[in-house]
Amino acid sequence: MIENNSEKTKRSGKGLIQNKYMASIYSFENRDERIERMQKDNPGKAIELCTVVVDSMFDKKRSLIESKIPERFKNASIKDLGYNSVAVNRAISEMLKPPEENDKVGTIFCGPAGSGKTHAAYAVIHELIKQNPEMVAYMTTYSEAFSTIKNEFFNGSYDDLNSVWSKLNNTSGMFNGILFIDDISSKALTEFELDKLMMFLERRFNSFLPFILTTNVKQENFKSVFGERLASRLFGYCTIVEFLDRDKRLSVD
């Protein structure tokens, strides 16, 4: 059964962010493009069958990603962000341009605790997976990621196919979509943290592998927290959106 136009529009993800490319050598077809390509590759297959196959594949991946989104952000929307929505949408749209048009590989949401950075990041994730869930490679928090990779480097499992280090660094070549790391610490980072952060971000910069970071670190403090080399690359290869609101979680009516 063919979906009506309104259903197709909803499933295709006609949201705020519309671009099948990232600042990447990889393109990510939306639903309709994938169905069209599948039918071209299999001329004997009916459009109905191609539609069912693509929807099933996308829905399964979309459900997997949604299951990993914290309950608080299950319905996060860019429209919820008020005046920040314009800057967020502009930053992500820049990151999604093909590399010949733009070399801003990453997007950084920075600002005080509770100002909406994580909400904005998950709102972007929701928009992307409407269009194609393959656009999202991996989501994690900074503390969780570095707790795990410390163990991986200690026991030598960091180069395993499905290790967190492989997901951050894309050494396996299986994680080509956006990497999202939430809540990078504003405290002075250890030598291990700085070294590994520089290593996998440098790889993503040079390979045009997009990412989103959130942090409480203010732009003017990037150099003191991240070091001069990494701060220079963050400023050069990322679009930075500052969230200036006070902590909404502490506000009272």
Which tokens hold the place of 240?
A: 């930075």
Q: SS3 breakdown of the chain: % helix, strand, coil, rounded to 5?
A: 55, 10, 35
| Environment class of 188 (CB within 10 Å of its CB; exposed 0-12, middle 13-18, buried 19+) | exposed
CB 94 within 8 A of CB 222: no
Beta partners for residue 109, in sequence order: 214, 241
- The whole-angstrom separation of Cα 215 and Cα 108 is 8
| Per-residue model confidence (pLDDT) at position 6 | 35
Please tell me the distance from the alpha carbon of residue 243 to that of residue 104, in angstroms, as a whole number: 19
pLDDT recorded at residue 2: 28
Give pLDDT, residue 13.
39
Helix (H, G, I), strand (E, B) or coil at 54: helix
Copy the structure tokens of residue 126: 């929701």
Query: Treating both helix axes as pointing N-terminal to C-terminal, what angle do 142-155 and 191-207 enclose, rounded to 10 degrees?
Result: 100
- Asked whether 106 and 96 are in contact (CB, 8 A), the reply is no
List, in sequence order, every beta strand (DSSP E) within 111-195.
136-141, 178-184
Pair 247, 113: CB distance under 8 Å: yes
> What is the side-by-side order of every strand in the sheet holding 178-184?
136-141, 178-184, 211-215, 106-110, 238-242
pLDDT block averages, 10 residues each, the chain of length 253: 35 47 66 90 91 94 96 92 87 81 89 92 94 93 96 94 92 87 88 94 91 94 92 94 67 39
CA–CA gap between residue 32 and residue 54 (Å, rounded): 9
This prediction has a pTM of 0.85
What pLDDT is attached to residue 76? 95
> What was the pLDDT predicted at 244?
83
Is domain 74-244 given the CATH code 3.40.50.300 in the classification?
yes
Residue 173 exposure: Cα atoms within 13 Å on the Cβ side: 1
Domain ranges of the chain: 25-67, 74-244
